[in-house]
A and B are shown apart, each in its own frame.
Chain A
Amino acid sequence: MAILIDNNTRLITQGITGKAGLFHSQKCRDYGTNVVGGVTPKKGGTTVDGFAVFNTVREAREATGANATMIFVPAPFAADAILEAAEAGIELIVAITEGIPVMDMLRVHNAMKGMSNILIGPNCPGVTTADVCKIGIAPGPIHKKGKIGIVSRSGTLTYEAVHQTTLLGLGQTTAVGIGGDPVHGLSHLDVVKLFNEDPETEGIVLIGEIGGSDEEAAAAYIKEFVKKPVAGFIAGASAPKGKRMGHAGAIVDGNSGTAQSKKAALADAGIFVAETAAEIGRKMLEAMNARR
């Protein structure tokens, strides 16, 4: 089962002839993902390392039956690439590109209202269903098939949580990096709902950071509807106020979006909150044992 992606996923890469696009298409293929081709305008009809290249997403979908795409198109053109994929009927759109203007993402967000496609990202590491299918840039070998669902804004903290749950023998169903931008596709809440309904997922790790209120929304839902054990971590407790911490979304304005208020919301929902990123795995184990 797992969520979002499995062995029925047929992936294309938008921007496949770029350096990063090709490299990660190869890595995904090595992991076992069925990468059926890619898109680069004006390079249709060629192949690159065995991947068929198409001019448009629509052509690629019609020729390959692709149902998922990962986007490596440069930021100024990435919003249009997302919309092209949405309009071509690609069900799952994973936007890896970082640095997309917020106004472009507002345009995408509004254009996709009423469409059934799922957007993940932008500025995200992607999605991995352990030992089955990987979309994006996460290092494959740290994953291990198991029972924990992981959702995080940060890429490297996703890896950290994956690695720790692997070492503790818990393993993962699916790990989802939703991205660090202010306007993005799937939220923590959306992914938590999917994990809650997935019978293979026995525990959930929720990793957030300062800024916004995504984590609070997920915590409110967990408090009311989620019986599975949940562990959480919020990055940025020591971040200076008003300073943008790398992620466009990671900034504390006024008193909202602080690590303290988010941790309190998580704890209030019965989530086992890790004090440092090093104890995410242990907290998950603790939460699992507490429910037995």
Chain B
Amino acid sequence: MKLHEYQGKALLRKAGLPVPRSEVVFTAAEVPAALKALGGEEGVAKAQAFTGGRGKAGGVKVFHTAAEASAAAEKLIGMTLVTHQTGPDGVLISAVLLEELSQVARELYFAVTLDRAKANIVFILSPDGGMDIEEIAEKTPEKILKLWPAWDGGPDDALLKQAADFLGLTGAQETQFADVARKLYNVYVETDCAMLEINPLAVNKANDLILLDCKVILDENALYRQKDTGGDPDAEKDPGEIEAAKYGLSYIKLDGNIGCMVNGAGLAMATMDIIAHYGEQPANFLDVGGSASEEAVTKAFEIITADKNVKVLLVNIFGGIMPCDRIARGIVNAVNNLGLKVPLIVRLEGTNVTEGKAVIAASGLNLTSADDLEDAARKAAEAVAALKAQAKV
């Protein structure tokens, strides 16, 4: 789950980290009160949206008067911000952070994340902050340092010294840096972060370290114990994804024409891949998992078919925990309730496959059975191709 900058900064501020003073507003009407709380009429208005590159895209505006601050908020809130990271659709700006100006002398990069290969938390550092780390990695990889703090005790003095040397921080700055690094490590662990990126970590003209921007992503599996961050787990989800989650289903919206009901993330991906292999694209995939009820399977069917892009429906189930007959009954119920407006291809295998096939046969539904994964994907792709050909005639 991603946090907005203002939510992330609240977290960092609470941990005693040096963050510029700022106030968030959700409407332009809140600006005067926010400026009063901020204690000044000069600052920077930053669009709150899940993307980097906001500055270049016009999402960050400096203001020198209350009127300018209000105008900036008025313009930004409700605007769609298109950056190099968002794609052409852009992202909606729902809030603006009004922040005091910082006099920046140097910009550094500091991130805490997981190194999967080492099963260890990793610090990623660069003296060239302010730009994307991917860009630094590509152009000047020698300007990136990775360090792995020990799980027991976190970053030790030797590691922090090495990091400070690499960033060119000495004396009082080095001491400040050690404090910042330890606190960021603690925030990462205690808040169940998946990513905690400070970019830039700035040195201001008074030679103090200050955390100018942050990107915070929390581990979705740990949200049950991280309820105070203000983050919205559904913020970036399609309405179908939110609806599916209520039934314990995992739904992902995509761009093609084949709706896919599958079980298991690996089989879901492999099903997408084989559809692509036969020249078509999935419209979505819905993973019913292992423990969905018959009702949830019916719901799954409804969610998939609610997508107007779905021209053909493919069910590909290899029952492990999930018995095939439960899937079959869910499908039959859904079709009886909703009717079936698109060709349906069904491939069932695994636990209770004989019972599942019997349920389908007894229902008299007009569907196409497939023998295996290959057969199923080919038949689905052929059905889409046939529809496209008809449309041309």
Partner of A102, one of B114, B252, B262, B287: B114
Please tell me if the beta carbons of A110 and B274 are within 8 angstroms of each other in the complex: no
Q: Does A121 contact B (CB under 8 A)?
A: no
Partner of B273, one of A180, A236, A254: A236
Please tell me if the beta carbons of B266 and A102 are within 8 angstroms of each other in the complex: no
Q: Does B268 contact A (CB under 8 A)?
A: yes
Within 8 Å CB of A212, what residues of B? 116-117
Please tell me if the beta carbons of A107 and B151 are within 8 angstroms of each other in the complex: yes
A114 to B263: give the CA distance in the assembly, Å.
37
Q: Which of A221-247 contact B (CB under 8 A)?
A: 233, 235-240, 243, 245-247
Q: Does A38 contact B (CB under 8 A)?
A: no
Within 8 Å CB of B372, what residues of A? 278
Q: Which residue of A lies closest to B190 (CB)?
A: A103
Partner of A156, one of B114, B267, B281, B374: B267
Please tell me if the beta carbons of A159 and B350 are within 8 angstroms of each other in the complex: yes
Main SS class of interface, B: mixed
Q: Pick from B222, B273, B373, B374 the residue with the most CB of A within 10 Å.
A: B273
A125 to B351: give the CA distance in the assembly, Å.
14
Task: Choose the segment among A51-59, A63-71, A137-145 that binds chain B (4+ C-beta atoms closer than 8 Å).
Answer: A137-145
A118-150 interface bits toward B, Cβ cutoff 8 Å, 1 = contact, 0 = none: 000000010000000000011100100000000
The total of Cβ contacts below 8 Å across the A-B interface reads 165
Please tell me if the beta carbons of A101 and B192 are within 8 angstroms of each other in the complex: yes
Known A-B contacts A103-B189, A248-B221; the reply to A157 vs B270 at CB < 8 A is yes
Task: Choose the segment among B5-13, B76-84, B167-175, B317-325 that binds chain A (4+ C-beta atoms closer than 8 Å).
Answer: B317-325
20 CB contacts below 8 A, A to B, read: A101-B192, A101-B221, A101-B222, A102-B194, A154-B265, A154-B266, A155-B264, A155-B320, A156-B266, A156-B318, A157-B270, A159-B350, A160-B373, A235-B266, A236-B269, A238-B282, A246-B265, A277-B270, A278-B373, A279-B374
User: Using a CB–CB distance below 8 Å, which chain A residues touch chain B?
Assistant: 20, 24, 75-76, 99-107, 109-110, 125, 137-139, 142, 152-160, 163, 180, 182-183, 207, 209-214, 217, 233, 235-240, 243, 245-250, 254, 259, 275-279
User: Using a CB–CB distance below 8 Å, which chain B residues touch chain A?
Assistant: 114, 116-117, 119-121, 134, 137, 151-152, 189, 192, 194, 219-222, 224-225, 250, 252, 254, 262-277, 281-282, 287, 290-291, 318-321, 349-351, 372-374, 377
